[in-house]
Amino acid sequence: MTDTAAQPIEVFYWSTPNGRKVAVMLEELAVPYRVNFVDINNMEQWTPEYEAISPNHQIPAIRDPSGPGGEPIAIAESAAILMYLGRRFGRFYPQDERQRVAVEQWLMWQISSFGPFLGQAHHFNWAAPEEMPYAIDRYHKIAERLYGVLERHLRSREYVAGDYSIADIAIYCWAARHARHRIDLEDFPSVRGWYEAIGERPAVKRGMAIIKPGTVDAASPIPAWEKRKDNRPL
């Protein structure tokens, strides 16, 4: 499938790492899309209408009016969306089986590890109602392990799997929250080089900047950050 989108693709979006993967991908593809903000902080994902699009009531999701067979299609789950868009527009998702499997391996690594565990680090660092040192320490160690994996992999590569791909997009959007999961990119120089290079891409800048007017980006500097950093030995 490599036609251009006749009508805009609708994106159900909030400015989080998983939401931003889709915004960055659509900006890279330069196809028409329309953003529907779903404010997950105000529980806007919990409607029957949205359940029909996203069964787990999460963002991101898309609705493509010109899906397979020319019929509309709704898709939830960021990796499924990235793979769909990659196939639909024939970009950032190679067709060669060996290259495609490499992209899929790193995309699956992101959605199974470099995301869920980092999200737990965010939760115990910043949102838990009480301080739980065991949980903070556990998820910080896992975050360090994951960045170590990426660091060793990127020492001999420009991108995670061949050319720039949906795997880079997915991992980048989580790495953009490194301060929030208390990772210093100085400790991971190959990750930092890759991260900075991807961050220079104009489409990435545009996708990352999408935020509902009048709201605050959850990745903005965290007021308690400096204080906690000084007080904790982790």
Ligand X SMILES: N[C@@H](CCC(=O)N[C@@H](CS)C(=O)NCC(=O)O)C(=O)O
Nearest to 164 by CA among 189, 197, 190, 191: 197
Taking contact as CB under 6 A, which single stretch among the options 23-31, 54-62, 178-186, 212-220 is the one that binds ligand X?
54-62
Euclidean distance between CA atoms 54 and 78, whole angstroms: 11
Identify residues 77-106 at the interface with ligand X (CB under 6 A).
77-79
User: Measured at CB, which residue is nearest to ligand X?
Assistant: 58
CA 71 to chain centre: 27
Q: For 8, which DSSP code? A: P
Taking contact as CB under 6 A, which single stretch among the options 25-33, 53-61, 125-133, 178-186 is the one that binds ligand X?
53-61
| Contact characters 104-143, ligand X, x per CB under 6 A | -------x--------------------------------
Adjacency order of strands within the sheet including 9-13 = 33-37, 9-13, 61-64, 73-76
Q: Are 143 and 84 in contact (CB under 8 A)?
A: no
| Residue 77 or 137 having the CB closest to ligand X | 77
List CB contacts of 96: < 8 A, sequence separation 6 or more: none
Euclidean distance between CA atoms 129 and 220, whole angstroms: 20
Taking contact as CB under 6 A, which single stretch among the options 72-80, 90-98, 150-158, 215-223 is the one that binds ligand X?
72-80
58 binds ligand X (CB under 6 A): yes
Taking contact as CB under 6 A, which single stretch among the options 71-79, 148-156, 175-183, 226-234 is the one that binds ligand X?
71-79
53 binds ligand X (CB under 6 A): no
Residues that bind ligand X (CB under 6 A): 16-18, 40, 45, 57-60, 77-79, 111
